[in-house]
Amino acid sequence: FASSLEKNKEFSKVYIQLVRAGEAGGVLDEVLNRLAENMEKQKEFRAKTKGAMIYPIIVTIAMVVVGFIMMIFVIPKLTEMYKDFGAQLPLPTLVLIGISDFMVNFWYIVLGGMAAAFAVFSRWKKTPVGHLQWDSFVLKVPIFGILRQKTILTEFTRTLSLLLGSGISLLQALEIVTDGVENLVYQNALKEATKQVEKGVSLSQSISRYESFPPILQQMISVGEETGKLDDVLFKLSKYFEQEAEQAVKNLTAAMEPLIMVVLGVGVGAMVIAVIMPIYNLTSQF
């Protein structure tokens, strides 16, 4: 059965190795039940994380779209009105009109520049150095970095617990889990930790060398190694990190809402001032 699954790219390495271990131990039904529960939990957890990000993303996109509409359609009409009245324009209005004129007359440069910047960023991100630097940067972003870290640790501990509980050796389980980690900072750390485990060093000591792994993870893994219940300890850790991630999601949402309002208020306020000042100057002349 496992050999058949290998031919289908839809199944991950974790899935295939678990099925193979279940076949070898004669407990395939138990392994498949565990795997189904694990996949369901991962799906629910990712849905919560993505769901919390929808609101700030939609609001940000709406802000950008409204800004473009104002610059391309509204400001040019106001500019014509100011010219008809012969109004003396203050500096903020001149800057706003200058930006609007550039976007209207050189829209192809604006779109081309945005496309080029996106292409350069995408290409840089795919390079080994760029990929590592970006993943490192993401982990350092306030609040969002904590959420990303907790998400990685949740999936790492949950998957490793599942593999060990299904009879797969620690070394093999680490190799499988490492391949599934999307963040290069954690992936590199796990690769080095796996090498240390292969040399006979305990897992808790191996990961203690890296700041990416919090002290509680190191301490609890050490307890699991001493008691011989590492898979159970890892499962409890996954629940702990999942709760931490959910709290980080709430913190991120709570922080994003006022931040978006401040940015929106400053942007709208600056635009209103630039538009109203010439009108105020005109009325004061009469």
Question: What pLDDT does 26 receive?
Answer: 63
User: Which residues lie below 8 Å from residue 203, measured CB to CB, with a gap of 6+?
Assistant: 170, 174, 193, 197, 221, 225, 230
pLDDT of 223 reads 93
**Residues 165 and 224 sit within 8 Å (Cβ to Cβ):** no
Q: What pLDDT was estimated at residue 12?
A: 66
Averaged pLDDT, groups of 10, the chain, 286 residues long: 60 68 66 76 76 77 85 84 75 86 89 94 93 93 87 89 84 86 92 92 91 92 92 92 86 79 82 78 66
For residue 45, the model assigns a pLDDT of 74
Cα separation, 15 vs 28, whole angstroms: 12
The conformation of residue 201, written as its DSSP 8-state character, comes to: -
Q: What is the pTM of this model?
A: 0.78
Q: How far is CA 177 from the centre of its chain?
A: 19
* pLDDT at site 7: 61
* Angle at 94 (CA atoms; ends 93, 97), nearest 5 degrees: 85
Q: Which of 188, 151, 191, 189 is nearest to 174 (CA)?
A: 191
pLDDT at 205: 92
Structural domains in the chain plus CATH codes: 2-70+143-284 (1.20.81.30)
